[in-house]
Chain A
């Protein structure tokens, strides 16, 4: 069974089609990156897959469950780390982790146990008692991902996880994402080519709401006749405009 399968998934607003007939499969356990320039439809696609936005047409199946008809089941299987660093600023790192355990339905003892595991995995010891709003951008992103992971999702959505981070913080976050590979299915949106190149098993390139290509890095570079992903991306995106 595929982790995600979309069938003609479409989202249209009044005067714009944000995602147009998206047909996509994400294999269980892989790290799949959605690449595209701003406004390509990546975030809208993720929002539909996370049951945050109703599709205008089509459907998607997350672990075999429809995002239209089985939203409760879909929500049990997924977690999202949104583009904006969505942490509770007045709560400490530990309290943020416990909160996510609590709203996921875990008992107090389970929340504590899972929070401790996250502290260990993410190296939060030095900042555990600090309010999330006082953390640096890099730490906030780490916390954001840890908050998504604490509910033990089968599918993790990372929407632009390194946006606005400096080189070191980005590199540290890449190491963290690499360490998660194979443990769950990860869908990552980014417009950083090097990020997709460094982390992905497969890549989908979107433009104007449409999926231009979906393949392995090698497959995409071969299709574009390019030596690296950036060249391939430019070739494919510019080519589609012609």
Chain B
């Protein structure tokens, strides 16, 4: 009951912020339609809808990090968390209360992205459902990253780190906007050990099939999701003790 009440509150706070709709849904859709329009005029394999949609779907998750980090950071700075720490809520209530309501939002964001992609010519196959399933570990990674940043950064820093830096990192290192092999060298290697490229490749391969081609990308994403969640829990508990 305690966790549920807190989770409902968090969902309401996020969904009632007009920026959620603008950045969480609007911006990725604009990019999807814009790049598809470019593709129609100057055909580039990278911007074919079956390549583009998974990239946009993962890119949209970077805004989930921003929303998650912002609410945690705001709650810390406004002493709202301090008030809640004097209630019988347990650390698990806090962590699940922040994380769980973001998951359906992240999946819904992806659903909207793929529905828009279908309007632009993406074949409607059962593989889209698999993609949504494999979208969950990526979602956990990005949401946990938000909890992690929100636990250590102030409101303004969250805007800079999650709003600017992470979205750019996710865009450049995911292979969505350009083929990473064109840059090559250290850039490509760094992208290969970070989760963004693997999250996109996992969705692309799940979409095109066969399903076995999602490996080893799925392991990278699951590993990063577990590590981010573990680090987020540790840092949240640390700031809870320090409050």
A contact residues vs B (CB 8 Å cutoff)? 47, 50-54, 72, 75-76, 78-91, 95, 98-107, 111, 131, 147-148, 151
List B contacts of A106 (CB < 8 A): 1
Question: A52, B243: Cβ atoms under 8 Å?
Answer: yes
In whole angstroms, what is the CA distance A6 to B243 when docked? 21
User: What is the minimal beta-carbon distance from A185 to any residue of chain B, in angstroms?
Assistant: 15
Question: B6, A104: Cβ atoms under 8 Å?
Answer: no
In whole angstroms, what is the CA distance A227 to B39 when docked? 84
- A-contact 0/1 string along B55-97, CB 8 Å cutoff: 0000000000000000000000011101111111100010000
In this assembly, does B238 line the interface, its C-beta being within 8 Å of a C-beta of chain A? no
List B contacts of A103 (CB < 8 A): 2, 5-6, 84, 87-89, 93
- Picked from B1, B9, B17, the residue with its CB within 8 Å of the CB of A88 is B9
In whole angstroms, what is the CA distance A111 to B5 when docked? 11
In whole angstroms, what is the CA distance A106 to B88 when docked? 11
Most chain A CB atoms below 10 A, which of B6, B8, B79, B86: B86
User: What is the minimal beta-carbon distance from A54 to any residue of chain B, in angstroms?
Assistant: 7
Question: A102, B4: Cβ atoms under 8 Å?
Answer: yes
User: What is the minimal beta-carbon distance from A115 to any residue of chain B, in angstroms?
Assistant: 12
22 A-B contacts (beta carbon < 8 Å): A52-B85, A54-B241, A75-B88, A78-B86, A80-B82, A82-B82, A82-B83, A86-B80, A86-B83, A88-B80, A90-B13, A91-B12, A99-B8, A102-B2, A102-B5, A102-B8, A103-B6, A103-B88, A104-B2, A105-B2, A107-B1, A147-B83
List A contacts of B9 (CB < 8 A): 88, 91, 95, 99
Main secondary structure on B side of the interface with A: helix
User: What is the minimal beta-carbon distance from B85 to any residue of chain A, in angstroms?
Assistant: 6
List A contacts of B5 (CB < 8 A): 98-99, 101-103, 111
A51, closest chain B residue (CB) = B86
A49, closest chain B residue (CB) = B86
- A105 touching B1 in the complex, CB below 8 Å, given contacts A76-B88, A91-B12: yes
- Picked from B17, B82, B93, the residue with its CB within 8 Å of the CB of A52 is B82
In whole angstroms, what is the CA distance A174 to B86 when docked? 24
- Picked from B78, B86, B89, B93, the residue with its CB within 8 Å of the CB of A84 is B78
Q: Please report the number of residue pairs spanning A and B whose Cβ atoms sit closer than 8 angstroms.
A: 84
Question: A82, B4: Cβ atoms under 8 Å?
Answer: no
17 further A-B contacts with Cβ under 8 Å, apart from A88-B13, A102-B4, are A51-B85, A52-B82, A52-B85, A52-B86, A79-B86, A79-B87, A81-B83, A82-B82, A86-B80, A91-B9, A95-B9, A95-B12, A99-B8, A103-B6, A103-B88, A105-B2, A151-B87
B94, closest chain A residue (CB) = A103
Most chain A CB atoms below 10 A, which of B4, B87, B89, B93: B87
User: What is the minimal beta-carbon distance from B5 to any residue of chain A, in angstroms?
Assistant: 2
User: What is the minimal beta-carbon distance from A76 to any residue of chain B, in angstroms?
Assistant: 6
List A contacts of B12 (CB < 8 A): 90-91, 95
B17, closest chain A residue (CB) = A90
Within 8 A of A (CB), among B4-28: 4-6, 8-9, 12-13, 16-17
A92, closest chain B residue (CB) = B12
List A contacts of B80 (CB < 8 A): 86-88
Leading 7 A-B pairs by shortest Cβ distance: A102-B5, A84-B79, A86-B79, A82-B79, A90-B13, A86-B83, A86-B80
List B contacts of A102 (CB < 8 A): 1-2, 4-6, 8
List B contacts of A91 (CB < 8 A): 9, 12-13
List B contacts of A75 (CB < 8 A): 86-88
Question: B89, A86: Cβ atoms under 8 Å?
Answer: no
Question: A80, B86: Cβ atoms under 8 Å?
Answer: yes
Question: B2, A80: Cβ atoms under 8 Å?
Answer: no
In whole angstroms, what is the CA distance A95 to B1 when docked? 15
User: What is the minimal beta-carbon distance from B126 to any residue of chain A, in angstroms?
Assistant: 38
User: What is the minimal beta-carbon distance from B72 to any residue of chain A, in angstroms?
Assistant: 13
Most chain B CB atoms below 10 A, which of A89, A101, A148: A89
Question: B88, A72: Cβ atoms under 8 Å?
Answer: yes
List A contacts of B241 (CB < 8 A): 54
A96, closest chain B residue (CB) = B9
In whole angstroms, what is the CA distance A86 to B75 when docked? 8
